[in-house]
Amino acid sequence: MARGVTPQLLFLLVWGTMVQAAQPRTDLLNVCMNSKHHKEKPGPEDQLHQQCSPWKQNSCCSVNTSQEAHKDISYLYNFNWDHCPIKMTPKCKRHFIQDTCLYECSPNLGPWIQPVDQSWRKERILDVPLCKEDCELWWKDCQTSYTCKSNWHKGWNWTSGFNQCPVQAACHRFDFYFPTPADLCNEIWSHSYKVSNYSRGSGRCIQMWFDPAQGNPNEEVARFYADAMSGSELRGAPLLLGPTLVLLWLFL
């Protein structure tokens, strides 16, 4: 044993490591992704545009980003919602605008942020538990709109500068490519979302739609999953630290 390090001191150091593992993962709360248009840190944005306005008290997006999120083809990603000859219905498009606002503006997605090595972003979200009502309404309102792909993250023809359907991809109604709500929400953005069995207001799923006058319900959800991740780390700690603690206790 190193000089000056008693068994009692080492015991306390190891125990302190376990206690620290039990603390909430504050690094997952109130954070912005390292991505193309996100702010470095969240903060108030009083003039957020229309459907992005629920995040104006604390936002990861700028006013300009919120304005661009409402355009059919914006400079954000040069993505064309109307990539089929029959244009997307307004009630369907509003869900994609809200989806963009959640992605760009929310500071409550920390538990699901993952590192990626892509030219346009260093982080992404994965398996965000989207409330089942939000997913079901998105799917219902988009059934009669048209698309040519089930995964909108990749496989497009970008030769024109914005996304176009690949040559062999036929346009069909959404319910052809997405037979169920889960197919839409889970697959369209490469599993960025994972439809939840929980309902809005449960504190266990992320809401894409909410009334800011009632507060942001996603703050509670992020805290719950951050705490759960801390608990998972603690449950794994005894496998590594338990034998050490037993041996040290014998020396005391």
Residue identified by tokens 């939000």 is 134
Strand partners, 195: 130
- Angstrom distance (rounded) from CA 171 to CA 63: 34
Question: Which helix (H) or strand (E) covers residue 101, if one does?
Answer: helix 90-105
Residue 147 · residue 84 · CB < 8 Å: yes
Domain residue ranges in the chain: 1-26+228-252, 31-216
Average pLDDT over residues 96-113: 96
Question: Which pair of structure tokens corresponds to residue 36?
Answer: 């193309």
Per-residue pLDDT of 169-178, as tens digits, reads: 999 999 999 9
Per-residue pLDDT band for 39 (boundaries 50, 70, 90) equals very high
Percent of the chain scoring above 90 in pLDDT: 73
Residue 174 · residue 145 · CB < 8 Å: yes
Per-residue pLDDT band for 7 (boundaries 50, 70, 90) equals low
Model confidence, pTM: 0.81
Per-residue pLDDT of 77-89, as tens digits, reads: 999 999 999 999 9
Residues 6+ apart with CB under 8 A from 205: 129, 130, 131, 132, 196, 198, 199, 221
86-90, 179-183, 226-230: range with lowest mean pLDDT? 226-230
